[in-house]
Structure 1
Amino acid sequence: MRPVRFAVVLALALLGACTEEASPPAPPPDDEQPGEEKPPEQVPPVSSAAPFQPCGAIGAGALAASALSPDGSVLAVATLSGQLVLYRTADGSRLQTLWELPGQQVSVVFSEDGRRLVAANQTQTRIWRYPDLAPVRTFDLPHSHRTTALALSPDGALLATGGFDTAGNETASIRIWSVEDGSLRGSLQRSYEQVVQSLAFSPDGASLAISTHHFVFIVSAADASGQRAVPGLSGGQLGWSKDGSLLASGGRVVRLDTGALVKDLELSTTRDASAFSPDGLLYADALGSEVTVYRVADWSKVHTFPEPNASYVSRLSFSQDSTGLVVDLGVSAFWCNGVGQLCGPWGNEVRIHPVQDLATVRTVSLGPVMRDHVVFSPDGSLLASTGDGVMGIWRTRGQHQVATSNIQSPSRLQFSSDQRQLRANNAIYDTATGKGLREFQGQALSPDFKTSAGREDDRILLRDVITNKALQTFELNAYVIGFSPDGRFLATTTYDGRTRIQLLDVAGGTVRHAFELDYNQGGSRLDFSPDGRWVTLTSPYDGFASTEVRGLGTASSRSLPPSFTAVFSPDSTVLATGGVDPEVRILTTTDFSLRERLVGHGTYLGQEQWPRGIVGAAFARTGQLATLGADRTIRFWCSN
C-alpha cells in the first residue's frame, strides 16, 4: 500500500514556507547511526518571563448567531469561541474582528435604521455606532451569572436581555434597558426555566415576546409588565408578522387576537428556527437541514429545500428588503462547546439565498473547524493540525493556511528535526515536494525519522525506517508512547492495576526511569522539559483529566490541577496546562505555582457529561504558544 500523496499545493506552499522565514537546519551526518546517544538539541534562548498575550487565532469556532446589515453588504457573526466578526457578504471575506475575549458570544443584531450594532456575550452587552463602529454603551453583567439572548426595539431605543442571575439556572430573568442612558426600564423572572431562548419586540415596539424552554409569553416593552402567556407556542426562535397580528415559535404560528393556531407542525416535531419576511408575505421554518418557505396569505408551500452538507439549521432571518433568506448552520444549544455528547450538531457557516432563486447561495464560512492535534515545525514558522477534517499547514506569522491535503483526520503529526519531512499517521512525506516517501511500522518515530518503534509479539522492536530492518529489541511487553525530543529515550506504558511508565535508554538498551501511577493519575501523553529535568503525564482522551509531573534523576513528583494537556516552554521556565475550564494555566517550574491564566477559548461546561475546555497545546522554539480548544479554534499566545 502506497502512502496517500499530498495535494500539489502542499508541495509548493511548503517549499516557500520553509525557505521564506528560516532555512532548515542541516541534516544529521550520514554516518550517525540510530540508537547512538546524542547530546540534547540546543534550544534557542527564548524567554517566557513576560506575561503571555493573545497574538492570533485559526478558526472562529461554532456559530452562535448572525445578523445581516440593512443594506445587505455586511454580515456580523457571533461565535461560541468569543469572537464577533464582520464579513463582506459579496465574497465572504473577513473584514474585522470587532470583539474578542472574554467568553462566549450569544447574539448579535443590527438596528432597523442601520445606525447601531448590538452584541452580547455571557457577561457583557455592547452597542456600537454603525458603520464607523464607535463604542456607544457597554452593559456589564446585565445578568449576574450569564446572558443568553437579546433583542433591540424597532426604533433602537430599548434593549432587552435574557439570562440568569445565579449559577443554578433555576430562575430565568428578562430585563429591558434604555439605550440612551443605560437605565433599567423593567424586569421580570420566571422560575423553573432552563433558558431564555429568544426575545423579539413587536413591529410597533410596544410589546416584547419571550421564549423560554417551556413557554412563550408577552409583556409590555415599556416596563416588562402585563405578562400574558401565548398558548400553543413553546421554545424556539420567535418571529412577528409585519402587522404584529401573528407570532411564531417552534414552527407553530398563532393569531394573537383570538389565540387560534393558524399553522401547526408537520410530523409533530418542534422547529428551532422560525422567521417572517419584513414585507409580511413569507414565513420560513426549518427542521434538521430542511428549510420550508410558506406564503402567509394561504400558508401554501413556496419552497422546500435541504441545506447540502449540513445537519442542522439553528436560525433563520430575512434581509430587510425581504429578497434574501439567511440560514445559520450553527449549534443547537447556546451552552454547546463543540465536543460533548449533548451538543447536538455543530456548524460554522452562514448561507444567504435569494428568495426568488433558492438554489443560488452565497456562503460565509467562519474558517476551519480545528481539532485533534497541534504541532509546530522545528523552527516555529509552521503549524500542522487538522482543519475541517483533513491535515493542513498554517504559517504562524499571520496564521494563514499555506497548504492542505487529502489526509483525513490524521491521528499523528510530526515534523522531522531537520524540517524536511513530515509524518502523518504511518507515512512520511517530503515537505519540499509533497511526495510520499515511505510507510513505516510501529507507533513511534524518532525525531530524525531514521528509527521507528512499536510493539511486536509482546516485545518492543526498533526498526530502520528506510530498510525496515530490525535494529534493537527490548524484551518488554508494553505499549509504545513515543521518543523524547532528543531521541535518547523511548517512553512506554503498561497497566496491571496500576499504570507503569518506563523510559528506555535507546543507546544503552536499559530502563533509565520508571514511574508508577494510580488508575486516576496521569495518563499516556508525555511531555519532556527541554532542560531534561521533568516529564509530565496527562490523560488527553479519558473521561477525566489528570496531570502528574515526575522528576528525571530525582524522586520529585507533583500532582497538578487536572489537565488534558501540559507542555513546557522552550526555556523550561513555565508549564502550560489546559483542562475542563476554558482557560490555559501558566505554571512556573520552580514550584509549579500558578503564574497566570489565559482566557480566550469559549465554552460553557454545564450539561456536558465529559466537558473539555482545552484539549491540546504546543510551544514553538520561538516561544509562541498554540492552544487547541474544545470550541474548535487554535489560539496563539506570545510572551514578549
Structure 2
Amino acid sequence: MKRLLILSLACIVTTDAQTVDYTKQIAPLWDTYCVDCHSADDADGEFALDTFAALMKGGEEGAAIVAGKADESLLVKFLEGRSGRGGKNEFMPPGKREKLKAEEIALIKAWINAGAKGPLITEAKPMPKEVITPKIAPTVPPKRSIQAVAFSPKAQLIATARYGEVELVNPVNQVTVRKLTGFTGKVNAVAFSPDGETLYAAGGEAGIVGIVRSWKTSDGSPLRSFEGHTDAAYALAVSPDGQFIATGAYDQKIRLWDTATGKEVALLKGHNGAVNGLSFRPDGKVLASASADRTVKLWSIPNGQRLDTLSQPTKEQTSVVFSADGKTLFAAGGDNRIRVWSISAAAKEGTNKILTSRFAHEGGLLNLALSADGKLLASTATDKTLKLWNTADLTEKLLLEKQPDWSSALAFTDKAQLIAGRVDGTWSVYEAAKTVLKP
C-alpha cells in the first residue's frame, strides 16, 4: 500500500492531471484514511467511499464531489479543514487521526478538476471466494500454544485454550480436571457463563470457517454449536446476565447469540478489519469491540445498533475491557498504547471522551485483563513483558518478570492472581512479582 501511494504521488509531478487514474491513485487514499468510518457497512453521515458510486452519491450533507471544481467540492473542504460545519472548520479524518498530506490532497483536487472520472472498468461486487486447502499432514506435531485463558469463581476452574481443545484445570493443585475436545482448528477465545456451569469457546480454521461451541463444565458434555461466522473467530464475551454471548471474527462481523437457544439475535456490521476483542458493559446494555481496522466501536444490546466509533488509535486494536463500574473503557493494540475513554450512560456518538493515551510497552500490546475488584489492569505485549496498572489513573504498578514467549492470554482469579498463558504452551499464575504456580 505504501509503495502504491508513493508511486501515485509521484504521478503529480510526472503526469498530466487528465491521466489521474482513480483506481490506482485515488481509491487507495480512501482505503488508507477514510473507509474505517465511511464504508457501506459503517457510513458515518450516510457517506461511504468504498465504491466510486457511493462517493459520487454523497451523504446526508449532499454531494461530496463537484466535477471540475475541486475547491467547491465538500469533500475537499473537509480534507483542507474549511468545511464551515456548525461555524467550525472541521477536518476529515476527524480528531487526532492522521490527516492527508498536502500532496495527497493536491492529487485528489487534480483528479476532480480533470472531471472526477471513475474506474476505467465498471466496479462489480466481489465474487464469493472458494478457498481450496490442500490436506497435508504435518511433519512435526503442532505447538500446543495457549491462545486464551479464563477463570470462573463459581466453578473454581481455569480454562486454557489450545489447538483443538480446552483444558479445565484446578487452580490449586494444577491438575487437569477434564478436556473439552471435538473443536476443529485453533481455539482463540474462551469464557465461562456467570454461574460457571458453561464454558464457551471460539476459534476455527482461518479462511475456512469460524467455530463457536459450548460445554457443561461439570462433566464436559457438549451443549451447542453457534454457526454463522465464515472465518476464524477471534473474540468472545458473555453478557453479565448470561443471556447472550457475542463473538467476533476475521470475517469482520460480530454476532450476538441467545445462549438458551443458540440462535443469532443480531449481526453487528461496521468494522473493516478482523474483530479481535469484545467486552460487555457491566449493565449488559453496551458492547465494545476492538478491531484490526484501528477503531473501537460501541454497540447497543440487544438490537446491535452502532452507538459510536472511537477512532483515536493509529494501529490495530487487539483488546478492549470495561471498568467495573462501566464508566470507563480500556483498549490497546499495535501502537504500543493503552487508551482510556469515559463512556456516558447512553454511550452515543459525541458523548464519549478520551481521557488517557499512555505509552505502555516497547512492543504492540496483545491483551488486557481487569481484576475482579476493578482496581488493577494487566497488559501484555510483543516485547515479552507483563505489567500491572492502577486503573484509577493508569499509573504503572508493577513490571513482572520477563516472559519466555509472548503471553497471548490473560485472566485474573477472584483473589487477584494473574494467569498468563503463552505461545510456547506454558502458563503461570502471578501474585505481585511472586510466581504462585508455574506448570
The TM tier, using the shorter chain, reads 0.5 to 0.7
Higher relative contact order (CA 8 A, sep 6+): 1
SS of 2:434's equivalent in the other structure is: coil
Q: State the Cα distance separating 1:322 from its structure 2 match.
A: 4.5
Q: Which amino acid in the other structure matches residue 273 of structure 1?
A: N
> Does structure 1 residue 360 correspond to structure 2 residue 435?
yes
Q: Which amino acid in the other structure matches residue 201 of structure 1?
A: F
Q: Which amino acid in the other structure matches residue 203 of structure 2?
A: N
What pairs up with 1:98-117 in 2 under 5 angstroms? 98-117=180-199
What pairs up with 1:87-102 in 2 under 5 angstroms? 87-102=169-184
- Asked whether the 8 Å contact 2:428–2:435 carries over to 1, the reply is no
SS of 2:147's equivalent in the other structure is: strand
What pairs up with 1:186-265 in 2 under 5 angstroms? 186-190=266-270, 192-193=272-273, 195-213=274-292, 214-233=294-313, 235-250=317-332, 251-257=338-344, 258-265=352-359
Which residue in 2 is equivalent to 1:126? 213
Q: Which amino acid in the other structure matches residue 324 of structure 2?
A: K
> Does structure 1 residue 272 correspond to structure 2 residue 359?
no
Q: 261, 265, 272: which is aligned to 1:185? A: 265
Q: Which has the higher strand share?
A: 1
Q: 161, 164, 185: which is aligned to 1:82? A: 164
Distance 2:368 2:389 in 1: 11
> Does structure 1 residue 156 correspond to structure 2 residue 238?
no
Q: Which amino acid in the other structure matches residue 256 of structure 2?
A: I
- Asked whether the 8 Å contact 1:325–1:353 carries over to 2, the reply is yes
What pairs up with 1:452-467 in 2 under 5 angstroms? none
Which residue in 1 is equivalent to 2:427? 350
Q: Which amino acid in the other structure matches residue 416 of structure 2?
A: T
Distance 2:405 2:178 in 1: 28
Distance 1:284 1:105 in 2: 22
Q: Relative to 1, partners in 2 of residues 1:248 and 1:270: Cα closer, same or farther, differing over 3 Å?
A: farther
User: Cα RMSD (Å) of the superposition?
Assistant: 2.6
Q: Relative to 1, partners in 2 of residues 1:72 and 1:353: Cα closer, same or farther, differing over 3 Å?
A: farther
- Asked whether the 8 Å contact 1:60–1:83 carries over to 2, the reply is no
- Asked whether the 8 Å contact 1:105–1:121 carries over to 2, the reply is yes
> Does structure 1 residue 328 correspond to structure 2 residue 403?
no
SS of 1:224's equivalent in the other structure is: coil
Q: State the Cα distance separating 1:349 from its structure 2 match.
A: 1.6
Per-residue deviation, residues 406-439 of structure 1 (Å, max 9, x unmatched): xxxxxxxxxxxxxxxxxxxxxxxxxxxxxxxxxx
- Asked whether the 8 Å contact 1:176–1:223 carries over to 2, the reply is no
Residue correspondences, number: 280
Distance 1:263 1:352 in 2: 28
- Asked whether the 8 Å contact 1:351–1:361 carries over to 2, the reply is yes
What pairs up with 1:233-632 in 2 under 5 angstroms? 233=313, 235-250=317-332, 251-257=338-344, 258-266=352-360, 270-287=364-381, 288-308=383-403, 310-319=404-413, 321-330=414-423, 347-354=424-431, 357-364=432-439
Q: State the Cα distance separating 1:180 from its structure 2 match.
A: 1.2
Q: Relative to 1, partners in 2 of residues 1:103 and 1:73: Cα closer, same or farther, differing over 3 Å?
A: same
Distance 1:70 1:60 in 2: 29
Q: Which amino acid in the other structure matches residue 299 of structure 2?
A: V
Q: Relative to 1, partners in 2 of residues 1:263 and 1:191: Cα closer, same or farther, differing over 3 Å?
A: closer
Q: State the Cα distance separating 1:295 from its structure 2 match.
A: 1.9
- Asked whether the 8 Å contact 2:158–2:168 carries over to 1, the reply is yes
Q: Which has the higher helix share?
A: 2
Q: Which amino acid in the other structure matches residue 417 of structure 2?
A: G
Which residue in 1 is equivalent to 2:229? 143
Q: Relative to 1, partners in 2 of residues 1:223 and 1:243: Cα closer, same or farther, differing over 3 Å?
A: same
Q: What is the identity percentage for the equivalent residue pairs of Structure 1 and Structure 2?
A: 26
Distance 1:284 1:101 in 2: 29
Q: Relative to 1, partners in 2 of residues 1:163 and 1:186: Cα closer, same or farther, differing over 3 Å?
A: same
Of structures 1 and 2, the larger Rg is shown by 1
- TM-score normalised by L of structure 1: 0.41
- Asked whether the 8 Å contact 1:279–1:322 carries over to 2, the reply is no
Q: Which amino acid in the other structure matches residue 163 of structure 1?
A: A
Q: State the Cα distance separating 1:263 from its structure 2 match.
A: 4.6
Distance 1:191 1:273 in 2: 19
